[in-house]
Amino acid sequence: MSRKLFIAGNWKMNTSQAGSVDLAKALVEAIGSVDKVDMAVCPPAVYLSSVADALSGSNIALGGQNVFYQDNGAFTGELSTAMLKDVGCKYVIIGHSERRHVIGESDELINRKVVKSLADGMSVILCVGELLEQRQADQTSEVVTRQIKIGLESVHAADMASITIAYEPVWAIGTGVTASPAQAQEVHAMIRNLLAEMYDESVADATIIQYGGSVKPSNAAELLGQSDIDGALVGGAALKAEDFAGIVQAGM
Ligand code: PGA
């Protein structure tokens, strides 16, 4: 089955009001009409509205970097799915390694966010990936399997069309060290087999599995050329329009 590539930019805690709009406008100019590849950007929450305006009419979708699992109320600092949708988000990143390992989110919390986002009609980018010491101890498959099994608990096959899995080995994020295409492909294939076990072959075949971790224009084509790599979640290189555009073009 042929899966449409999906390239998403995670701007993390970067840019400014003016800088986020400039970046979005430059992306629209460079790749706004691309339709061979699905595209999204995930700016900081405070800039979502202005980036939404800048992206309007283009093929670049908007996503949040995080969400909470309640509708509203006394949850200081949190954002609901309704708020994200209200400002134009289609996607939300859940379980990014920085939220797992810097902020301390558990698989169970991540699962609640996934279930809530799906129930409210959002598309989820669920991030998974092992730490360096886990890879060195040969625990990659065990760690990623646990993150996916708990992260997708009580998610039904019918909802899997709204799930993208992003495999991001933590040791490759923001470090300039990329997993080799073969290393990434091996884990992607393992994830697809796991999805076949948890659901069925057709869900496994249809699910988009992105790679993330120091993706840049110079390594994108080789990574995206692997049979089970269906896109990229891009951090650092998403902050420069020409680099993000170069990655999108590498997928075309
Ligand atoms: P990076 O980040 O491209 O800067 O390594 C990827 C990510 O954290 O999603």
Indicate the top mutation candidate among 125, 177, 211, 234 to test ligand 1's pocket, ranked by most ligand atoms within 8 A of CB.
Answer: 234
CA of residue 13 to ligand 1 center, whole Å: 12
CB 236 less than 6 A from any atom of ligand 1 = yes
How far from 91 is each of 143, 154, 164, 227, CA to CA, in Å? 25, 20, 10, 24
d(CA 116, CA 92): 11
Ligand 1 atom with least separation from CA of 166: 9
Evaluate if residue 176 carries a pLDDT over 90: no
CB 215 less than 6 A from any atom of ligand 1 = yes
Write down the residue that tokens 């930019």 correspond to: 9
Mean pLDDT score across all residues of the chain: 97
pLDDT digits (tens, 9 = 90+) for 95-122: 999 999 999 999 999 999 999 999 999 9
Model confidence at 218, pLDDT cuts 50, 70, 90, reads very high
In sequence order, what are the residues at sequence separation of 6 or more whose Cβ sits closer than 8 angstroms to the Cβ of residue 170?
97, 101, 129, 130, 131, 132, 213
Query: What pLDDT shows up at residue 10?
Result: 98
Residues 11/43, Cβ–Cβ less than 8 Å: yes
Which residues are the active-site residues?
96, 168
Residue 211 host element (H or E): strand 208-212
Dihedral sign of CA atoms 134, 144, 36, 8 in order: negative
d(CA 51, CA 88): 9
Q: Specify the length of the chain in residues.
A: 252
CB 234 less than 6 A from any atom of ligand 1 = yes
CA of residue 97 to ligand 1 center, whole Å: 10
CA of residue 169 to ligand 1 center, whole Å: 10
CB 168 less than 6 A from any atom of ligand 1 = yes
In sequence order, what are the residues at sequence separation of 6 or more whose Cβ sits closer than 8 angstroms to the Cβ of residue 68?
75, 78, 79, 80, 113, 116
Query: What pLDDT shows up at residue 174?
Result: 87
- The SS3 of residue 19 is helix
Pick from 134, 128, 124: nearest CA to 148: 128
Whose CA is closest to atom 1 on ligand 1?
Answer: 235
d(CA 128, CA 168): 6
Query: What pLDDT shows up at residue 1?
Result: 60
pLDDT digits (tens, 9 = 90+) for 20-72: 999 999 999 999 999 999 999 999 999 999 999 999 999 999 999 999 999 99
Residues 60/5, Cβ–Cβ less than 8 Å: no
**Angle 108-109-110 from CA coordinates, rounded to 5°:** 90
- The SS3 of residue 155 is coil
User: pTM of the prediction?
Assistant: 0.98
CB 213 less than 6 A from any atom of ligand 1 = yes
CB 173 less than 6 A from any atom of ligand 1 = yes
